Amino acid sequence: MFPDRFTASYLPSLQIGLNLRDRAKNDRYSPLLNVDDPETDQPAMPFAQLESAIVRQLVQHSIHLSPTEASLDKVVHALEASYKTFHFTGHGAYNARKPEESAIALTDGLLTAKTISHLNLSSYKLVCLAACETALTGKDGITTEYVGLASAFLKAGAANVLSTLWQVDEISSTWLMLQFYQRLLAGDTPATALKQSQHWLRTITWAELAAWITELSQLPGLEPGIVDRLTARAKNTLKEGSTIGLNQPIKYSNPYYWAAFTLTGQG
């Protein structure tokens, strides 16, 4: 929709935009609160768990709620503990009839947009919702400002929310999110980091992806099991790409894999 020279972020309402305009910008993303693929009646997501483990190494000083620990009480209590970044991997859903009931799934229930909108999240520079359909916003009843999950986090005080418009591919989503954090921590603004990460995913070749995954496996502090998974994935990427052409772009150029991700907020 926009030429490559533009970088876009979105706003759910004019009032939220005015509030964010007066908020001081900073580049601190630590400490991190990480909620890792909560255990629900839906299938576990191995790549989401891989993503969380690596994000915790990229953003130092992190607190981690494991799949069995991520209950409503624990997550709400942790959210209000003045972290700078909230990274959620797991399942999310948009409620078209009642957007304020859109939610992320935790071990013992749903954390809804309505509940989130009443929290104090003013310390958060960034909220990353690596889940499905978390960026959708309702068109009815827009007099309430928690018309979707992204809106709810902004109303609660977060500066930026990275979220998705449809059910995303688990593997490509993991690569995009990790690339996003690398660019963010290298100094890019959230909006620029997302734009550049989307371009990276669209154009990366099999050989480049394998080399990048190998670099990830060498991050200090990673658990041996995570290193083994990354090493195996790099080898499999080379093997799969060799049948097509290692210098050929991967299928991720299709908008399905990258266009779902949007940044809402300060930019």
Looking at domain 14-169+260-265, does it have CATH number 3.40.50.1460? Answer: yes
Two tokens, residue 34: 């990480």
Sign of the torsion formed by the C-alpha atoms of 139, 147, 177 and 37? negative
Q: How is the chain split into domains, by residue range? A: 14-169+260-265, 205-248
Angle at 241 between CA 238 and CA 242, to 5 degrees: 85
CA distance 178 to 136: 22
One digit per residue, pLDDT tens: the chain, 267 residues?
556 667 776 666 666 666 666 666 667 899 999 999 999 988 888 999 999 999 999 998 889 999 999 999 999 999 999 899 999 999 888 787 888 888 999 999 999 999 999 999 999 999 999 866 444 444 444 444 445 788 899 999 999 999 988 888 899 999 999 999 999 999 999 999 999 999 999 999 999 999 999 999 999 999 999 999 999 999 999 999 999 899 999 999 999 999 999 999 887
CA distance 126 to 60: 15
**CA neighbor of 11 nearest in space, from 199, 158, 194:** 158
Sign of the torsion formed by the C-alpha atoms of 214, 215, 221 and 222? negative
